[in-house]
C-alpha cells in the first residue's frame, strides 16, 4: 500500500488529506481527521463512495466484470476447485496444499453435528415458518450452545467458532427444510464430501438409501463457491458492524443472515424465480419490461442490476452454464421458466433503458432456476446463499478482529429534525 496527499478545498481552506493506494482498484482519501479539521462530516447514504475498511480478501472490478478471491479469478476457482478449498483460501489467504486441504476437510467434518438440544429448539417454530427466520434464530442460538467459542480475544476460540459455523450451517439449513416438510432430521454423514452430505441431509429419508447425484453435487458446490464472498456488501458490512462492538461471532453471523434475507440482496434469487413464474410465458415479457421502466411502478426486474457490477456479473456466466448442465442431467428439456429467462435476458440486454443504466443479469437471475430443478423450494434459496456466504462473513469478521486499527463502527448523520424546543405538558397541547 502506498501513501500520498490530496488537497481538498473546504470553505476556502486547503485541507491535506492522505491518499491511500491499494494493490488494484480505486485509491481512497482518508477522511478520518476531516471533522476535526473542518467541523464537517461527509454524507454518503448507501456508502456509494465510501470504503469502510482495508481488506485483502475479495476484489471486484464492477466495470470490467471481474471477481477475485485472494487474487484468484472466480472462474478458475469454480472450474478447478471445490467449496472447502475456497473456504480455506478465503480464511487463510492461500490455496491449501494437499495435506492442508485434507486437514481442513477433516476439521470441518468433525463439527457437522449440532448439539442435540437444537432439535428441540426447532419444535418451537411453526411448520410454515420461513427457513430464513429459523436460520437467524438458530445461528444466533449457537452462542447459547457453544460457550467455549465465544471469547473473541482468544485466537483458538475464534478458529473453533469459524469451523463450527462452516460445518453446522448445512446441518441447520437441512434441518430447517426437513422441519418445514414434516420429515425427520437426517444426521450428517462424515464420509461424504461437504455438498453431497448437504444434499443427503436435505433429500434422504431414513427408510431409503440415498446417493447424491454427482453432477448435481458438483453444480451445487460451484454455486457455493460463487456465493462465498463478495467484498463489503450489505450483509458483510452488517457482520463487520455487529462484530465491531465485540459481539460474539455466532451473533454477528446471525445479523448477517438477517440482512441477507432482504429482496434487494440475498432474497433476490427467490424474488427472481417468483417473477419468472409470474411472467409465465415469453409473450408477456414486453409487459414486464414496460413495468420495470415505468417510473411510477415500483416493479424492478429481479435478477438484474447490481450496485457494483456495471457489466455482466462474472458469476452469472458460470451460473448460466451450471443451469444448463443441471437441466441436461435431469433431462429437463423444455422448462418454461428457462425459456422466459433466456428470452428476458436477450430482450433486456438490447433494451435502451437497461443498456443505458448498465443493468445486466446478476447471479440470482439463473441460480433460482437451477435450485428449483434440484428440488429446493424457493423459500430455501436464500438459505443456500447464507450457507455459502458464511465463510465470507467469517473471513471478513476475522480480518476485522485482527486489524489493530479496528474501532467500533459509528456512522454520523445529517440531522434534519426539529431544533431544540421546550417540553409542553399534555394539558397545554393542541
Ligand atoms: N429493474 C429496473 N430498473 C432498475 C433495476 C432493475 N432491476 N435496478 C436498477 N434499476 C434502475 C433504478 O430504477 C435507477 O433508475 P433511475 O436512475 O432512473 O432512478 C437506476 O437503475 C439505478 O438504480 P439504483 O437502485 O440506484 O442502483 P443500486 O446500485 O442502488 O441498486 C440493486 C442495485 C441490486 C439493489 C438494484 O439493481 C435492484 O434492485 N435489482 C433487483 C434486485 C436484485 O436482483 N438484487 C440482487 C443483487 S445481486 C446479489 C447480491 O449481491 O446480493
- Catalytic-labelled residue, pool 130, 227, 230, 306: 306
CA–centroid distance, residue 134 to ligand 1 (Å): 28
Are 244 and 408 within 8 A, CB to CB? yes
Is 229 annotated as catalytic? no
Helix or strand holding residue 67 (H, E): strand 66-69
58-61 and 28-29 strand pairing: unpaired
Of 348 and 396, the one with more pLDDT: 396
Question: Ligand 1 within 6 A of 260 CB?
Answer: no
Across the range 170-195, mean pLDDT stands at 96
Nearest CA to ligand 1 atom 39: 264
Question: Ligand 1 within 6 A of 302 CB?
Answer: yes
Q: Which of 77-86, 248-257, 340-349, 374-383 has the lowest mean pLDDT?
A: 340-349
Are 369 and 261 within 8 A, CB to CB? no
Retrieve residue 318's grid coordinates: 458460470
User: What's the pLDDT score for residue 5?
Assistant: 83
Across the range 124-152, mean pLDDT stands at 94
List, for residues 407-428, the tens digit of each pLDDT value: 999 999 999 999 999 999 999 9
- Catalytic-labelled residue, pool 82, 221, 313, 364: 364
**Whole-number percent of the chain with pLDDT over 70:** 99
CA–centroid distance, residue 305 to ligand 1 (Å): 5
Question: Ligand 1 within 6 A of 303 CB?
Answer: yes
Residue owning grid cell 433429500: 203
CA–centroid distance, residue 286 to ligand 1 (Å): 19
217 backbone φψ class: left, alpha, beta (φ>0; ψ -120 to 50): alpha
Residues pairing with 67 in the sheet: 60
Question: Ligand 1 within 6 A of 237 CB?
Answer: no
Question: Ligand 1 within 6 A of 266 CB?
Answer: yes
Q: What are phi and psi of 15, to 5 degrees?
A: -115, 130
Question: Ligand 1 within 6 A of 362 CB?
Answer: yes
Question: Ligand 1 within 6 A of 389 CB?
Answer: no
Question: Ligand 1 within 6 A of 359 CB?
Answer: yes
Residues pairing with 66 in the sheet: 61
Question: Ligand 1 within 6 A of 243 CB?
Answer: no
Residue 377: how many CA atoms within 13 Å on its side-chain side?
A: 14
Nearest CA to ligand 1 atom 15: 357
Q: How far apart are CA 66 and CA 36, in angstroms?
A: 37
**pLDDT grade for 190, boundaries at 50, 70 and 90:** very high
Asked whether residue 1 carries a pLDDT value surpassing 60, the answer given is no
CA–centroid distance, residue 287 to ligand 1 (Å): 19
Nearest CA to ligand 1 atom 49: 265
List, for residues 330-343, the tens digit of each pLDDT value: 998 877 888 898 89
Asked whether residue 25 carries a pLDDT value surpassing 90, the answer given is yes
Helices assigned H by DSSP within 184-305: 194-203, 214-227, 234-244, 249-260, 268-279, 285-293
Residue owning grid cell 437441466: 327
Asked whether residue 3 carries a pLDDT value surpassing 80, the answer given is no
Across the range 215-241, mean pLDDT stands at 97
CA–centroid distance, residue 232 to ligand 1 (Å): 17
CA–centroid distance, residue 429 to ligand 1 (Å): 45
Q: How far apart are CA 74 and CA 227, in angstroms?
A: 10
Across the range 368-382, mean pLDDT stands at 92
Is 306 annotated as catalytic? yes
- The mean predicted confidence, pLDDT, of the chain is 93
Asked whether residue 15 carries a pLDDT value surpassing 80, the answer given is yes
**pLDDT grade for 28, boundaries at 50, 70 and 90:** very high
User: What's the pLDDT score for residue 162?
Assistant: 95
Across the range 228-251, mean pLDDT stands at 97
List, for residues 273-325, the tens digit of each pLDDT value: 899 999 999 999 999 999 999 999 999 999 899 888 888 889 998 998 998 89
Asked whether residue 266 carries a pLDDT value surpassing 90, the answer given is no
Nearest CA to ligand 1 atom 34: 306
CA–centroid distance, residue 353 to ligand 1 (Å): 12
pTM of the model: 0.91
Q: Which of 8-17, 72-81, 180-189, 233-242 has the lowest mean pLDDT?
A: 8-17
**pLDDT grade for 267, boundaries at 50, 70 and 90:** confident
Number of the ligand 1 atom closest to the C-alpha atom of 233: 51
Asked whether residue 101 carries a pLDDT value surpassing 80, the answer given is yes
Question: Ligand 1 within 6 A of 268 CB?
Answer: yes
**pLDDT grade for 137, boundaries at 50, 70 and 90:** very high
Of 367 and 194, the one with more pLDDT: 194
Instruction: Report the residue among 305, 384, 386 best suited for mutation to probe ligand 1: largest number of ligand atoms under 8 A from its CB.
Output: 305
Q: How far apart are CA 230 and CA 232, in angstroms?
A: 7
Amino acid at each position: 500500500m502506498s501513501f500520498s496527499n490530496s488537497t481538498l478545498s473546504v470553505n476556502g481552506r486547503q485541507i491535506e488529506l492522505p491518499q491511500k493506494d491499494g494493490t488494484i482498484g480505486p485509491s481512497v482519501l482518508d477522511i478520518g481527521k476531516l471533522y476535526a479539521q473542518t467541523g464537517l462530516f461527509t454524507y454518503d447514504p448507501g456508502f456509494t463512495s465510501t470504503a469502510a475498511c482495508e481488506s485483502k480478501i475479495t476484489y471486484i472490478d464492477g466495470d470490467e466484470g471481474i471477481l477475485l478471491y485472494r487474487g484468484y479469478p472466480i472462474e478458475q476457482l469454480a472450474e478447478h476447485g471445490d467449496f472447502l478449498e475456497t473456504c480455506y483460501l478465503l480464511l487463510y489467504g492461500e490455496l491449501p496444499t494437499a495435506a492442508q486441504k485434507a486437514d481442513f476437510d477433516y476439521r470441518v467434518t468433525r463439527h457437522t453435528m449440532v448439539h442435540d438440544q437444537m432439535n428441540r429448539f426447532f419444535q418451537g417454530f411453526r411448520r410454515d415458518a420461513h427457513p430464513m427466520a429459523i436460520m437467524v434464530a438458530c445461528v444466533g442460538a449457537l452462542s447459547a450452545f457453544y460457550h467455549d467459542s465465544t471469547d473473541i480475544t482468544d485466537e483458538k476460540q475464534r478458529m473453533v467458532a469459524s469451523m463450527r459455523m462452516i460445518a453446522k450451517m448445512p446441518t441447520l439449513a437441512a434441518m430447517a427444510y426437513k422441519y418445514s416438510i414434516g420429515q425427520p432430521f437426517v444426521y450428517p454423514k462424515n464420509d461424504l464430501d461437504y455438498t453431497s452430505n448437504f444434499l443427503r441431509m436435505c433429500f434422504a429419508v431414513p427408510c431409503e438409501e440415498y446417493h447424491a447425484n454427482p453432477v448435481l453435487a458438483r453444480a451445487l458446490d460451484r454455486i457455493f463457491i460463487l456465493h462465498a464472498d463478495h467484498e463489503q456488501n450489505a450483509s458483510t458490512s452488517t457482520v463487520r458492524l455487529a462484530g465491531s462492538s465485540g459481539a460474539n461471532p455466532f451473533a454477528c453471523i446471525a445479523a448477517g443472515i438477517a440482512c441477507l434475507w432482504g429482496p434487494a440482496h440475498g432474497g433476490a434469487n427467490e424474488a427472481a424465480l417468483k417473477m419468472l413464474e409470474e411472467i409465465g410465458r415469453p409473450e408477456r415479457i414486453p409487459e414486464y419490461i414496460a413495468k420495470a421502466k415505468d417510473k411510477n411502478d415500483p416493479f424492478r426486474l429481479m435478477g438484474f442490476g447490481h450496485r457494483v457490477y456495471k457489466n455482466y456479473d462474472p458469476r452469472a456466466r458460470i451460473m448460466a452454464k451450471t443451469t444448463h448442465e443441471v437441466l441436461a442431467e435431469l433431462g429437463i428439456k423444455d422448462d418454461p421458466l428457462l425459456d422466459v429467462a433466456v428470452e428476458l435476458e436477450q430482450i433486456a440486454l438490447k433494451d435502451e433503458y437497461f443498456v443505458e443504466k448498465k443493468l445486466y443479469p446478476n447471479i440470482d437471475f439463473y441460480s433460482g432456476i437451477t435450485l428449483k430443478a434440484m428440488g429446493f423450494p424457493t423459500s430455501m434459496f436464500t438459505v443456500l446463499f447464507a450457507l455459502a456466504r458464511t465463510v465470507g462473513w467469517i473471513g471478513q469478521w476475522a480480518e476485522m478482529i485482527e486489524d489493530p486499527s479496528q474501532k467500533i463502527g459509528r456512522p454520523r448523520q445529517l440531522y434534519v429534525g426539529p431544533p431544540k424546543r421546550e417540553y409542553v405538558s399534555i394539558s397545554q397541547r393542541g
